[in-house]
Structure 1
Amino acid sequence: MAWLSAEFYFYKGSAPCRSVWMTLKLLNCEFEEKHVDLLKAENKRPWFIRMNPQHTVPTFNDHSFILWESRAIMQYLMNKYATEGTQYLYPKEPEERAKVDRMLFFDMGTLYHAIKEYFGPKIHQGMPPDQEKENLLKTSLDYLDHFLEIGGVPYLCGERITIADIAILASITELDALNYSYKCYGELFRWSERVKEGIPCYKECCIEGVEMTRARVKQLEDDLKKQMEKERKASITKK
């Protein structure tokens, strides 16, 4: 029987997918790219649901071992494929690794959660963001800015980039895609520019996806405006 290759199922417009993609590239892993078009609901097709009942991307099939949830995939990739030259991305020393894990959980439970909550209406319907959730996002960005200020090091967990920086940068690229300025958070903005420069594959893995999200949201907004104008004209006609 032929040996199966590793397969990475992803959508470029997904921030969590971008984080895994950057990790794979930095580790020089051999894998086959499997693009899943969420706009065509390819993740809801029976073959995909059989592989991942939660039908989410990213999904990683490593020689029949199937894993989803982006941060779990990143940790798995580091545990299995890190070399002496790339181990710095996820240090083995318990305290240093705990720092990385803490920021991964902050990203999942606080930062990225806040981004999704605030921008949900805009991303899915082209409507204005949920203003009631803006404080949640601002608080998350304040936390991140403060972490960087008191850390006194170039990156979130020390002198070198880790998968925590990769994951949180991917979340921040969602703000880029949605034209949400975070320049007022000085430490955060400088860190984001530093990490973008420090990851050789950043442009390859992120720029196209950011533009995809930006274009899709603009199309949703345009469609919503047309629908509202159509309804307005229809109401005038009835009068």
Structure 2
Amino acid sequence: MSPLKLYYSPISTPSRAVLMAIRNMNVDVEVVTLNLGTGEHKSAEFAKINPRMCVPTIVDDNFVLCESKAILMYLPHKMGMCKGRAFYPKCARQRALVHQRLLFDSVDFYSNISDLVNLSFSDEPILTVKHKAAIVGALNVMETQFLNNGDFFVGNSATIADFAFCSSVAALIAIGFNINDDYPKLSEWYERMGTLKGFNELSAGAQQTGAMVRKGLKNSFDDL
């Protein structure tokens, strides 16, 4: 069987979440790195694979899947209980909580980080109190609700939700937001994530994202 093929960019926060999950599930993978800055994701070759021309995208034999959360949910099924299901609970209620966390990351947390990336390329790249408030609101939920009953976002072992949040938090830190002072549970969780496979790879990509965003912005969170 051919290895899973992952089309990926290190500056893509969703891409980094998927790759960290793959590393921890020991998936046999071929990583195809696309340079988003030069438009490699818009090539005719890649458009044939994914007409949306977005990363991450996986190709598993003849099966093509994009959207990071969908990929994160697919990987445990592909790998089976021994390798993948440890990161995706069998219990329906626990699994529902994983899905809830993934949706929260997409809608309430990562979306705000994506806004910062877009802001850095805009005509008025200035962080405002509104930008910070949106992020603080999400962080407060993560700190007081999601991390209130265990070491990870659902219980005491890492799930696919943790890979999604890890990539988002790493990007936020790299952009210049300090989580250490006001979010002790989140900070401790992030340290725990640092012991898992693929974290250094994820962190290095996040630093690239952060440097790009900081270069484009005219101010920082410290100014607010």
TM-score higher than 0.5 here? yes
4+ aligned runs moved over 6 Å, structure 1: none
Q: Post-superposition shift, 1:7?
A: 0.9
Deviation at 1:4, TM superposition (A): 4.7
Q: Which amino acid aligns with 2:110?
A: Y
Which of 149, 152, 176 does residue 173 from structure 2 map onto?
Answer: 176
Correspondence list, 1:111-122, <5 A? 111-122=109-120
**Which of residues 150, 153, 158 in structure 1 aligns to 2:155?**
158
Tell me the CA shift for residue 202 of structure 1.
0.9
Deviation at 1:127, TM superposition (A): 2.4
- CA positional deviation for 1:124: 6.0
* Aligned amino acid, residue 58 of structure 1: P
In structure 1, the residue matched to 2:38 is 40
SS at match of 2:194: helix
- The answer to whether the aligner puts 1:213 opposite 2:209 as a matched pair is yes
Of structures 1 and 2, the one with the larger relative CO (CA 8 A, separation 6+) is: 2
The SS at the match of 2:64 is strand
**Pairwise CA distance, 1:137:** 1.4
Give the direction of change, closer, same or farther, for the CA distance of 1:119–1:146 in structure 2 (3 Å limit): farther
Q: Is 1:97–2:100 an aligned residue pair?
A: no
Residue 128 (1) aligns with residue 113 (2)? no
Q: Could you tell me which residue of structure 2 aligns to residue 228 of structure 1?
A: none
The percent identity for this pair of structures is 26
| Letter matched to residue 24 of structure 2 | L
Q: Structure 1, residues 181-222: CA drift from partner, whole Å, max 9, x if none?
A: 12212222222122222x13211x21320222233335445x
Note the C-alpha offset of 1:54: 1.3
Query: Which structure has more helix as a fraction of its residues?
Result: 1
| Distance (Å, rounded) in 2 between the aligned partners of 1:217 and 1:119 | 6
Conservation of the 8 A alpha-carbon contact between 1:119 and 1:130: no
Structure 1 unmatched ranges of 5 or more:
225-239
Question: Which residue pairs with 1:234 in the alignment?
Answer: none
Quick one: structure 1 residues 119 and 135, their matched pair in 2 at CA, closer, same or farther if it must change by over 3 Å? farther
Partner residue, 1:167 = 164
- The secondary structure found in structure 2 opposite 1:38 is coil
How far off is 1:107 after superposition? 0.7
**CA gap 1:126/1:9 in 2 versus in 1, 3 angstroms:** farther
Aligned-partner Cα distance in 1 for 2:21–2:152: 16
Change (3 A) 1:124 1:79: farther
Structure 1 residues 131 and 44: CA distance shift in structure 2, 3 A: farther
Aligned residue number for residue 27 of structure 1: 25
In 1, the alpha carbon distance for the partners of 2:103 and 2:28 equals 27
Q: Secondary structure at the match of 2:150?
A: coil
TM-score (norm 2): 0.88
2:222 match: none
- Distance in 2 (CA, whole Å) between partners of 1:44 and 1:12 is 16
